[in-house]
Structure 1
Amino acid sequence: MKTQQFTVVDPLGIHARPASQLVAKATPFTSEIEVRTAEKAANLKSILGVMGLALKPGSQFTLYVEGSDEEQAFAALTALITEMGLAQ
């Protein structure tokens, strides 16, 4: 299992557009991919789940990736999160 904690830095938070890009990136992988906050958890392959987390600026979340292609999935998702300036 690969994990990494992030703090949202995008001034708009993780709203519909970046959430849909994260879901699109996660969907092709076979690994279980989850985003967790202190209160909630969501499958990163579900736009409704990600939107339901209501990740605002300053929110902390942890990315969890586990499965046969976890290395590739984790690398792709952490790169996308950083490149889009969503979190650090």
Structure 2
Amino acid sequence: MYSQRIVKKIKITNPEGLHARPAGELVRSLSAIKSSVVIRYKDKAVNAKSVLSVMALGIDPGEEVEVIIEGEDADAALKIVEGILHGERGKNPS
């Protein structure tokens, strides 16, 4: 397998921001991912696989973060992160 590095800025469009529920969903969804995933917000960078670290950032809807992903399954990790930050994961179809 090859290792890949992805750095991407993402605007939080999830109406809940990145607080308790989305942070928990993010950590659970990334648990099977081997790549390292870091979220950078303002002057802090945290491990996206740590719910307390993610929640401590206190990111509200409309804010922008930088996501740094390194590893063999970086593309899969990016899809998970984008889905949660955009509020597209975990929705029940009508």
Greater Rg, structure 1 or structure 2? 2
Instruction: Identify, as 1 or 2, the structure richer in helix.
Output: 1
Counterpart in the other structure of 2:24: 20
* One-letter identity of the residue aligned with 1:18: P
Gaps of 5+ in 1: none
Q: 1:47 and 2:80 equivalent?
A: no
Per-residue deviation at 1:12? 3.7
Structure 1 stretch displaced more, 41-50 or 10-19: 10-19
Give the TM-score, by structure 2 length.
Answer: 0.77
Give the TM-score, by structure 1 length.
Answer: 0.81
Tell whether the 8 Å contact from 2:18 to 2:85 is kept in structure 1 after alignment: no
Query: CA RMSD for the aligned pairs?
Result: 1.6
Gaps of 5+ in 2: 90-94
Given candidates 8, 11, 32, the residue that maps to 2:12 is 8
Per-residue deviation at 1:11? 4.2
